[in-house]
Structure formats: structure tokens, C-alpha cells
Amino acid sequence: MSRRSFLRVGAMAGGAALAGWGNGSVAAEAGQELGGDPGGDRDVAGASIAQLQSRMAAGRISAAELVDIYLRRIAAIDKGLDLRSIVQLNPDARRIAMQLDQERRRKGARGPLHGIPVLLKDNIDTADRMQTTAGSLALAGASALQDATVARRLRDAGAIILGKANLSEWANFRGFQSSSGWSGVRGQCRNPHVLDRNPCGSSSGSAAAVAAALTTVALGTETDGSVVCPSGQCGVAGIKPTVGLTSRAGVVPISDTQDTVGVHGRSVADAATVLGALTGVDQRDAKTAASAGNFSRNYAQYVSSTGLKGARIGIARQFTGATTETDEVFEEAVQVLRDAGAVVIDPVEFPSFDEFNADQSELIVLIYEFKRDLNAYLATRSGVPVGTLADVIQFNIEHAERELKFFGQELMELAESDVFSEAEYQQALVRGRQLAAERGIDAVLATHNLDAIVAPTNSPAWPTDLINGDAFLFGSSGFAAVAGYPLVSVTAGYVFGLPVGITFMASAWSEPTLIRVASGFEAAAAVHRAPRFLRTFQQGEGSRTSEKPSRTFASSALKTHAAKLDQFLVPRLRRLNYL
């Protein structure tokens, strides 16, 4: 069984509380564009970190007032339109904001995140009055005993933890036929651009809330695609760091080899600003030792509107062919790269592409590590119904009407059964890295002397389907996931009002380069749109892409792909959804 055909997992579907699914505004129910911004205060809520800091420094707004603005928007949009991007709010957020306002007046700001509201994906521990559930009722109960390291570093930087974001339950490592963004605790998160479309996952709520301006920035986590896919489908910037750049201590795990904590922002600059607050060696996470000498406390310094000038960018067309619409957006993006001064090498080929897609090394590593790593995490929790993976499986069986209504827990059962041996696991670690890094990303970079490789992030968002699960078509995150390498995703264009992203990738610790080129693309393309919260797709809605559709590309693409049908049809049929 291949890696791709086995991991047909979506980022979780189903629904605990689906009451109110259709209880949005009259305009939303009619499928019309909402007049103005339904939450109000968009000019403030949608402002960048730098803009908010300038306003707070000038006394034009306080952190407490900013929190109030977001709370009003959450009431109007997340609840009023049933976006379901947020699991819970921090009852102490306003008090913390007021304390930070007082500190600013007495001492000045701690740094760029002072007074900035941040949402955390609900698999990141906070030792406060909020719970950490990973979206599962099995973890509902007492709060975590200790902050995750990334949560503590945000607090130390002066950020306000506004609440916890919805996610694909257990970061989508539970069962087959899932729908991205569903959790037993909160139900189905929706895409803010078109509400009956999927936000992707597993960091669904983090990206959706940032796109809807319900928070300034948000943390997500990625094992394979869980930061970049929601970024692409919700139309925000996402940074998935090198494994070990950010601590995973206090984060509900899937895999010590592949897990990483990343950031969603409405711009690369905002995401980069947050990333700088998260880095540094952490004694609670051995993987971070490798980041010594490789991390920065200030990634915002690498943001550049001219970041593409002279950069050597490889075009990975092996990831195209899933849909004509995606390819048209990607082709326009390639032209933006050229026009912005990049040296474009088109195409570049991954030598191990077919072998990697047919290989099961990633599957073996994730299945093998999940039981070990989850049991170690659960040992740090008390006051919750479960203490081991076996307990979680039994809990789900006993609460099947809530937890197993829409899909099962096959991945958990495989992990609990110890289906793979230690020898198979060790072999998979070696082979996976060879295919993904040495014969994958590293080989492409070295062959063409590249700064970065670019590929499409996603197809336009599919309709959410709680019965059949995700209509997933392709992903470009797998090589970086298995290699432990970073990714930066930004919006490249729109198809019928739905965002399509592109992903920049390179080798370990290359975040400065990726931030530079991705921010350069972002500035040159200038395609970002605020979501309009349409209830459903409108057949007469706009054009296919952000500009006039490129019909000449459509015909040339057929000629290009005719000689390599296996390369784009086979990966399309191998459904790897996001973890």
C-alpha cells in the first residue's frame, strides 16, 4: 500500500453540535455578498501588527479596546455566521490587555507583539482557565498544568492569548473519510470566503479566524500540510518552520520527527514577526537543540517588497495538473516571479518524485511514533478522561454518537496495534529522508543553484461534505514534511472568489530566504482580498482567476502534460490530506 493511497485522511469531518449550521444572516443564507463587513471595525481588526503598534504607541487605540473589537467580530461572525473557527475564548483576555496597557504607559512596549491578540490552535497547552482538547471530548476537563513553550514565549513577548482555534480533531490523525476542520468539541469550521466550502486543515480555525479578522495572528501546527493548506484555502500567509526551530513541548503530538508549530498571518510580515518570538533552544524539546546558531529572534527583518530581485526560483511543475483553474493561477504567479526580477528556472524536477509518492516511509514513521508520543503527552495531563491512546480509542467507542458519527478511528487503532516493528521504523526514517531531502528538495536546489522551489499550495476549496469526507486533489507539502524542512505559503490568486496559494520551499533553517522571496511575491502580486462570507458559490461570480483567464496557457498545458500523464494523474488519485 502506498503512502498516498493509505493516508486518505482529510482533516476531520463530522459534527458534534451542528445546530445553527444555517443560522447565519439573511444575506448569507441567500448566498449574497454581505453589505459591508458583518463584524464592523474591519479597518482596525484587519490592520497589520506594525500598524497596530503605531496606533497603540500614539494612544489612538489600547490593547483592551482592540480585544473588544475582536470580541465583537467573533460574536457577529464566528457565532452569528456560524464560522466555527474558535473553540473557546480566554476569559482573562481583557484583564491581561489592560495590564499590558498599563505596562506600556509605565515602561513602554516589550516589543512588536506587546498588546497583540493571538489565537492558538486548540492542541497547544495553556495553564489558565482555558482547556486544551485537540478538538476531542476525550481531553475536555481540567486545564493543562503548564503552558506550552510557544504559549509562554508569546506571553513573555507581551502577546494576548485571545482563545483557542478550532481544528481537525487530533490534528487529523484519527480515521479515514474525515472532513477538514471538524472536531467533536466545536463541529465543522467553515471557509470565510464561501461558507459551505472547506477551510482545509488541520489548522483550520487558525487560518479561517485570521482571514476573517477575528484575531491579528494565530498559531497552527503542521505534520504534513496543516499550516500551508489552510493558508492557501483561506487566503492568508502561513509559515511552517523547520522541525526544531519552534518547540513542541506542551503540544498534542502526532510525530516527533515531523511535528512543528507555525504561524498564520494576513501577511508574511505579520507571520514572520510572530515567528521571531517563538524560537530558541528549549530543554523540554530535544529537537530544538539543532536550532542553536540557526534561529533568529527577528524574522521580520527579512521581509522585503523587492525580495524576488535576483532570486533563483525553480518551478516545480510536477505538482501541477490537478485542476486547470489551479494551473492558471500558478502560471500567472510564475509570470509575477519573472516580472519582479527573479531568475526563473522552469521546470525543475524532483528526481525521487514517483518513488516518494509510492513509498510508505512517512506512514510507518507517523503510525509508529503516534502511540509513543501521544502517551508521553497524556502523562502530563490530569483531570481528563484519558491517559493513554488505548483510553482514547475506548472513549470514542463509548461516545460514538458524538465522536464517531461521521468517520472512524482506523489510524489510532493501527498505532495502538503496533503494526510496524522497530526495524521497519528505523528503515523508514532513513529511506524517507533520502527520498524527501537528499534525492528530493536538496537535489533540486543543488542541481539548479536555487534559493527556493515554488509549487501550487492547493486547489480551490471543495464543498464541505460530512458524509463522504474531503474531496482532496493534491498537495505539495509532503517532501518538506518528511525532510523536516520549512515552507511559506502566500495567496497567488482567486478562482471564482476562492483563494489559491503557492508554496515556497527550501532546505533546513532557510526561513530568512523563504520569508524574503515570499514577501517579495506578496508585494508584487498584491492580490489579497478580505473574505465576503458568501453562503455558497455563485455561478455568475466573477472570473476564474484574479486576472483575465489565460486561455493560451490552458492549451499549452495540455501539450506539456500529454507526455507525462502518469506524473499528474497518479498523484491526483492518491489522496493525502492534511495532518
Q: Is residue 380 pLDDT above 80, yes or no?
A: yes
Report in angstroms the alpha-carbon separations of 476 from 129, 330, 344, 560: 38, 13, 19, 19
Of 62, 136, 179, 202, the active-site residue reads 202
Three-class SS of 324-366? HHHHHHHHHHHHHHHHCCCEEECCCCCCCHHHHHHCCHHHHHH
- Where b means 16+ CB within 10 Å and e means fewer, 169-202 reads bbbbbbbbbbbbbbbbbbbbbbbbbbbbbbbbbb
State pLDDT tens for residues 181-234: 999 999 999 999 999 999 999 999 999 999 999 999 999 999 999 999 999 999
User: Is 79 designated active site?
Assistant: no
Fold of 3-288+314-573: Amidase signature (AS) enzymes (3.90.1300)
Mean pLDDT of 296-321: 98
Contact 130, 141 (CB under 8 A): no
Mean pLDDT of 42-56: 97
Mean pLDDT of 276-296: 98
Model confidence at 515, pLDDT cuts 50, 70, 90, reads very high
Q: Is residue 28 pLDDT above 70, yes or no?
A: no
Query: 187: which strand partners?
Result: 183
Backbone angles phi, psi at 263, to 5 degrees: -135, 140
The share of the chain scoring above pLDDT 70, in percent, equals 87
Q: Is residue 8 pLDDT above 60, yes or no?
A: no
Q: Which three cell numbers stand for residue 87?
A: 473553540
State pLDDT tens for residues 558-578: 333 333 334 433 333 333 456
pTM metric for this prediction: 0.91
**Mean per-residue pLDDT over the chain, rounded:** 90
Q: Is residue 20 pLDDT above 60, yes or no?
A: no
User: Is 121 designated active site?
Assistant: yes
**Which of the given ranges, 33-42, 429-438, 533-542, has the highest pLDDT on average?**
429-438
Q: Which three cell numbers stand for residue 563?
A: 507526455
Query: 459: Cβ–Cβ under 8 A, 6 or more apart, which residues?
Result: 322, 323, 325, 326, 473, 474, 500
CA dist., res. 212 & res. 190, Å (int): 11
User: Is 202 designated active site?
Assistant: yes
Of 179, 206, 226, 489, the active-site residue reads 226
Of 62, 121, 168, 296, the active-site residue reads 121
DSSP string, 472-525: ----S-HHHHHHT--EEEEEEEEETTEEEEEEEE-STT-HHHHHHHHHHHHHHH
Q: Which three cell numbers stand for residue 394?
A: 475506548
Q: Nearest 5°: CA angle at 493, between 468 and 13? A: 20
Find how far residue 97's CA is from the centre of its chain: 27
Mean pLDDT of 23-32: 36
State pLDDT tens for residues 92-144: 999 999 999 999 999 999 999 999 999 999 999 999 999 999 999 999 999 99
pLDDT value of residue 556: 37
Can you list the alpha helix ranges (DSSP code H) found in 359-493? 361-378, 389-398, 400-403, 410-416, 422-433, 442-448, 478-483
pLDDT value of residue 32: 42
Contact 287, 508 (CB under 8 A): no
Q: Which three cell numbers stand for residue 365?
A: 514513521
The share of the chain scoring above pLDDT 90, in percent, equals 85
